Chains A and B, each alone.
Chain A
Amino acid sequence: MASADTQLQSARLHIPHFDRVILAVIVVLIGLILLVISMGDRVGVIVHRVVPEGIARSTSPIIIEFSEPMNRESVAARFSTAPNMDGDITWNGSTFIFKPVEAIAPGENVSVLLEKGASSASGRELLHNISFDFTVRTPHVAYLFPANDAPSNIWVADPNNPESAQQLTFSPSGIYDFSVSPDGSMIAFSENNSETGTQDLKLLDLETGGLEQITNCVDSACTNPVWRPDGQMIAYERVELNSDMAQQGVGISPTRVWTLDLSRRPVETRPLFSDLQRLGHSPQWSADGSRIAVYDSAMGAILLYDFTDGSLEAVPSRAGSSGALSPDGTALLYPEIVLTEGAMTHSYLRMVILDDNQVIPITDPPQSTDDARAAWRPDGQQIAVSRRDESLIRGYQIYLLDPENFDARMITDDPRYTNMFFLWDPTGQSLVIHRFPELDENMQPNMNGLPEIWTLNTLTGELIQVAQNAWMPRWLP
């Protein structure tokens, strides 16, 4: 009996050869897995991509793409640049993005260092220092050419070498207007459709050459794209042509401002104001992107819309301009039409302090000046104004104003030219100017004048002609 029990127990305990081999293999494999784990991480977090390297734009963000989600504090603590720069850090998944608060000066050499030890969300570490360098190039100038013929296309030139100008777009029907993204990597432009008379907005990626249509304005004119400073949204003007209702006497609609959300795919577009009775044109963003200013011709006022709380303020003005928001968003410069003695009208400059709606007249009667356009230097320390002072000089000249006391200093004094439009470069050193030669070399009215593009270094006073027979200049950082 005992023997039978032993045999039964033995049979129960007996593991067949095949199963023993398999179990042994399983044990070995588990051992190997533990061994591999115990030998530790010899790769660590991998950096897939760093940007920029070599030549960079003055507004280029510094981008480090990791192989996995990171412990953000540990990365920020080990990130540094030489020279030291202040900037905002954002993340897109596993990608670290550092945007300098101020544009980097052209010619500056920047070294970026990310020290080893930065850890991922899962605890893996960066095992080696990551370092790279870049040099900031001189901002280029983009413009439309030719001004006296069609089609106009976008060209770009280096102000230090204007002969190197290159054509960027090759639209047979022509480009209506355009603007450059804040980081300089893309251009949004409105292209004419010669068959329908409409305009659509398109995006040109300057890195890849890729072209994407971002509006579907079948019976509309979609123009004047204006980038939000973070590059994620575009405000633009839209006019409905109402072609299908022309027989009923319905004409084209007034201009309204719409927005395009580029952070969504497909790109989403919607009117800025849900109330379609609210008109607007000439949109411009505040530096932090939280506010937008448009001019409402029906109200005769500049509308300031705050995205953070949905509030809307109106600043009465008859000049038709949406003015210029200060970089810190606390003040708005705008021209106002004023009737003076002798039934003369002049355009005077006003500044409204948005916190308390206090209006400060910068120029006023009896001054015989016209202030047409104002632009804040990116650091807010100066204001460029195109001013015509008939007591001094013919045509609009550019002045620099001190925002504290509004002392003005004329920085263009060529009576042959009127300076119509200008923009600060991102570093606040230079202006790009759209000039028109009103007088010829003999100081006689110039009947065959064509617009020109110039740059003006406000520190040295150096003026460089970038292009002739061209218009609508924009900085390409």
Chain B
Amino acid sequence: MTAETPSVFRRFALAALILLLVAVALMAVLTSNRDPGTLLNIFTTRFLGIFLEAAPFLLLGALASGLIDSFVRPDDIARLMPRNPAIATVVGAFMGFIFPVCECGVVPVVRRLYTKGLPISVGVTFLLAAPVINPVVLVSTYVAYGFGPVLIGRFVITIVVAIIIGLIFAVAARPRDVLRASTLAMIPPPVVAGGSPEASASDIIPIYTRAPRKPLGVGLRDAMGTAADDFFDMGRYLIIGSMLAAAMQTFIPQEAMATLGSGPVTSVLVMQALAFLLSVCSTVDAFLSLAFVNTFTPGSIMAFLTFGPMVDIKSMLMFAGVFKPRVVAYLIILPFLLTLLIGVWINLNVPL
């Protein structure tokens, strides 16, 4: 597999999604007894509604990402890591408050942090938690749902799932089990990832070289450039996700959706599949999920808001650039099963 392979996959996935969208729309128009022009108007209105509501948060996330890229050095974070692997793993769940990036931006950051000696388990926890545990997503979820069970549940579940998976990696994973050869090659020899059987407590803080800080003007210019790149890069996924969501609302009969969405288990599975397929950035997915609140169960909404940011089509492709293929599979299966378990438990035991 070459370095270009994920990009090819990504393009293929994008093309497949667009084709799926067009096919669904065509089928719906052909089978519906409503005027195609009216359907198109409704679709356009809904698409614009979703996109315009989400775009400011994407812009905010991109700006924050650009500023961090310019002014925060990954080695600063690595130096501040606790020596205890378990505590370090827990800290990893909250690193999103320092690196407020959604799932699109977190993978390159983790990869860079690994090269600076970040423990594997901390990186995995950060990778899974950061798309939700950051101030931008906190604000967007609050704007969408207000302060209540959804906001609290989203953050608590994400932290719990990320820490559990991080601890599993802390107990069992060594860098050579997990990372791709190309990533391993970037790690300097003295560095041993903490939490692995070969690591001692003193190994957690790696030896690294301190990168010089950028001057303010240069940093700001670079930050704006990075922000623009991030915005347009992630904006593509947002546009496609918004179109898919609008298409689902417009062309797929709500009765059929509601029937799927009412089973305590099937609803969670459907929303997990949707989260994976829609691949909408975590900064905006709370607004998308609002469209499903009245038809889907609370547990499935929670699964959508927690599983989607951890794993989706685009992040899966990006994982493949850092981790070995079977580890990518684990990073999909473990969050899937944990959020499924929590979602089903909520549906069957918590009256919301």
A122 touches B337 (CB 8 A): no
Which A51-94 residues have C-beta < 8 A from chain B? 67-69, 93-94
Q: Mask for A119-135, Cβ within 8 A of B = 1, else 0?
A: 01111100000000000
Q: Mask for B317-352, Cβ within 8 A of A = 1, else 0?
A: 000000000100010011001101100110111111
Q: How far is the CA of A36 from the CA of B265 in the complex (A)?
A: 10
Chain A residue with Cβ nearest B171? A21
> Shortest distance in angstroms between A12's beta carbon and chain B's nearest beta carbon?
15
> Shortest distance in angstroms between A29's beta carbon and chain B's nearest beta carbon?
4
B262 touches A18 (CB 8 A): no
Q: How far is the CA of A67 from the CA of B301 in the complex (A)?
A: 13
Q: Give the contact stretch, choosing among A3-11, A39-47, A325-333.
A: A39-47
Q: How far is the CA of A440 from the CA of B264 in the complex (A)?
A: 74
A25 touches B348 (CB 8 A): no
Inter-chain contact count A-B, CB under 8 Å? 83
> Shortest distance in angstroms between B35's beta carbon and chain A's nearest beta carbon?
13
A123 touches B263 (CB 8 A): yes
B254, CB-defined interface residue at 8 Å: yes
A93 touches B348 (CB 8 A): no
Chain A residue with Cβ nearest B336? A29
B258, CB-defined interface residue at 8 Å: yes
* Residues of chain A lying within 8 A (CB to CB) of residue B178: 18
Which B292-316 residues have C-beta < 8 A from chain A? 294-295, 297
> Shortest distance in angstroms between A149's beta carbon and chain B's nearest beta carbon?
45
* Residues of chain A lying within 8 A (CB to CB) of residue B267: 122
Q: How far is the CA of A15 from the CA of B173 in the complex (A)?
A: 13
* Residues of chain A lying within 8 A (CB to CB) of residue B255: 69
Chain B residue with Cβ nearest A41? B348
B266, CB-defined interface residue at 8 Å: yes
Given contacts A43-B347, A46-B351, A122-B259, whether A18 and B341 have CB atoms under 8 Å apart is no
B173 touches A18 (CB 8 A): yes
A447, CB-defined interface residue at 8 Å: no
* Option from A29, A39, A120, A124 in Cβ contact (under 8 Å) with B337: A29
> Shortest distance in angstroms between B39's beta carbon and chain A's nearest beta carbon?
14
B76, CB-defined interface residue at 8 Å: no
Given contacts A18-B178, A43-B348, whether A26 and B337 have CB atoms under 8 Å apart is yes
A101, CB-defined interface residue at 8 Å: no
A67 touches B297 (CB 8 A): yes
Which B188-230 residues have C-beta < 8 A from chain A? none
B52, CB-defined interface residue at 8 Å: no
B261, CB-defined interface residue at 8 Å: yes
Q: Which of B265, B337, B350: most chain A Cβ within 10 A?
A: B337
A19, CB-defined interface residue at 8 Å: yes
* Residues of chain B lying within 8 A (CB to CB) of residue A276: none
B23, CB-defined interface residue at 8 Å: no
* Residues of chain B lying within 8 A (CB to CB) of residue A69: 255, 258-259, 262, 295
A459, CB-defined interface residue at 8 Å: no
Q: How far is the CA of A16 from the CA of B174 in the complex (A)?
A: 11
Given contacts A68-B258, A93-B254, A123-B263, whether A33 and B172 have CB atoms under 8 Å apart is no
> Shortest distance in angstroms between A395's beta carbon and chain B's nearest beta carbon?
54
Q: How far is the CA of A172 from the CA of B101 in the complex (A)?
A: 53
B262 touches A120 (CB 8 A): yes
- The contact size tier of chain B is 35 or more
* Residues of chain B lying within 8 A (CB to CB) of residue A36: 341, 344-345, 348-349
Chain A residue with Cβ nearest B165? A25
B233, CB-defined interface residue at 8 Å: no
> Shortest distance in angstroms between A174's beta carbon and chain B's nearest beta carbon?
35
Q: How many residues of A contact B (CB 8 A)?
A: 30
Chain A residue with Cβ nearest B196? A18
Q: Which of B172, B174, B266, B344: most chain A Cβ within 10 A?
A: B172
* Residues of chain A lying within 8 A (CB to CB) of residue B294: 93-94
A25 touches B262 (CB 8 A): no
Q: How far is the CA of A30 from the CA of B258 in the complex (A)?
A: 26
> Shortest distance in angstroms between A203's beta carbon and chain B's nearest beta carbon?
21
> Shortest distance in angstroms between A44's beta carbon and chain B's nearest beta carbon?
9
A29 touches B341 (CB 8 A): yes
Given contacts A43-B347, A43-B349, A69-B258, whether A30 and B337 have CB atoms under 8 Å apart is yes
Which A115-173 residues have C-beta < 8 A from chain B? 120-124
* Option from B262, B334, B340, B345 in Cβ contact (under 8 Å) with A124: B262
Q: How far is the CA of A18 from the CA of B295 in the complex (A)?
A: 40
A33 touches B330 (CB 8 A): no
Chain A residue with Cβ nearest B352? A46
Q: How far is the CA of A307 from the CA of B174 in the complex (A)?
A: 74
A33 touches B340 (CB 8 A): yes
B348 touches A121 (CB 8 A): no
A16 touches B264 (CB 8 A): no
B262 touches A68 (CB 8 A): yes
> Shortest distance in angstroms between B166's beta carbon and chain A's nearest beta carbon?
12
> Shortest distance in angstroms between B197's beta carbon and chain A's nearest beta carbon?
8
Q: How far is the CA of A22 from the CA of B164 in the complex (A)?
A: 12
Q: Which of A16, A22, A93: most chain B Cβ within 10 A?
A: A22
Contact sample, A vs B, 23 pairs, CB 8 Å cutoff: A16-B177, A17-B172, A18-B174, A18-B177, A18-B178, A21-B172, A22-B330, A29-B341, A33-B340, A33-B344, A37-B348, A39-B348, A42-B348, A42-B349, A43-B351, A46-B352, A68-B261, A69-B255, A69-B262, A93-B254, A94-B258, A121-B259, A123-B263
- Nearest first, the 6 closest Cβ-Cβ pairs linking A and B are A68-B262, A21-B172, A122-B263, A29-B337, A122-B262, A18-B177
